[in-house]
Amino acid sequence: MPSGTKLGILCVAALLFGLGAAAPQNPDTAGDIASHIVGFDHIQTDKVGYDLNTGDFSLPEPFTAERQGTTISADQGNGNSKQKLMHAKGHVVLHQTRQIENHGQTTQVTQRPSTLTCDKLDVDGLRKIYVATGNMHFTQEGGREANSDTAVLDDANHHLHMQGHVHVRNGEATIDADTLDYDTLSGELLGNGNVTITSPIESPPPGLAPAPRKKRRGLL
């Protein structure tokens, strides 16, 4: 797309979303079309449609939405800027970097960086809730990963609820369940329904044979 067309889209989008911000003069950044849409700092794409009356918007081509600590990319999207809702579909990637909170002189890391991929993602920008549908795959720094049919990530409360063929791996240990809740900050897990836990048996150090088992009468 010619840079002039991109710049035109940028100016129109800024007015439609009620931003009141001037468009960047650099054509190379003309794809950054808006700020504070659905709770994101900006969304970058080549095409956007918007309804002034309802607030409905459409992103018919691949886009990237960003805010501090969070990035979402997908093939297509739509939503409502007034309600701060967005629906993304097609090769959806939700990436969260390390979040840092400053309390006076104290710096606290709130959770490990993570990446969630799925077929479809519904975003509530106000509550920071993400509903993932279809082939949900979640990875987190430190060798943790999980798969499920669907998942709900409550980013504000550091909570990931997974449902349907849940499989979690932490190093060599695995957990399978119908549903599973994971605290993305503390690392705590709570599984429900057909829970199976597997963990490798530690091998004795070289040169140390396992102690012989005592025979018990009456037992096979």
Sign of CA dihedral 4, 5, 6, 8: positive
pLDDT of residue 156: 87
pLDDT of residue 211: 57
Contact in structure between 63 and 73 (CB atoms under 8 Å): yes
Does the domain at residues 98-202 carry the CATH identifier 2.60.450.10?
A: yes
pLDDT digits (tens, 9 = 90+) for 25-60: 333 333 444 445 666 778 899 999 989 899 899 999
The encoded tokens of residue 105 equal 């002189």
CA 110 to each of CA 26, 80, 158, 160: distance values in angstroms, whole numbers, following the listed order: 36, 29, 9, 15
pLDDT of residue 26: 39
Domain ranges of the chain: 98-202
pLDDT of residue 152: 98
Instruction: Show the low-confidence residues of the chain (pLDDT under 70).
Output: 1-39, 98-111, 202-220
Instruction: Give start and end residues of each alpha helix (H) in 17-56.
Output: none
User: Model's pTM, two decimal places?
Assistant: 0.73
pLDDT of residue 206: 64
CA 97 to each of CA 82, 94, 104, 110, 191: distance values in angstroms, whole numbers, following the listed order: 27, 10, 22, 10, 26
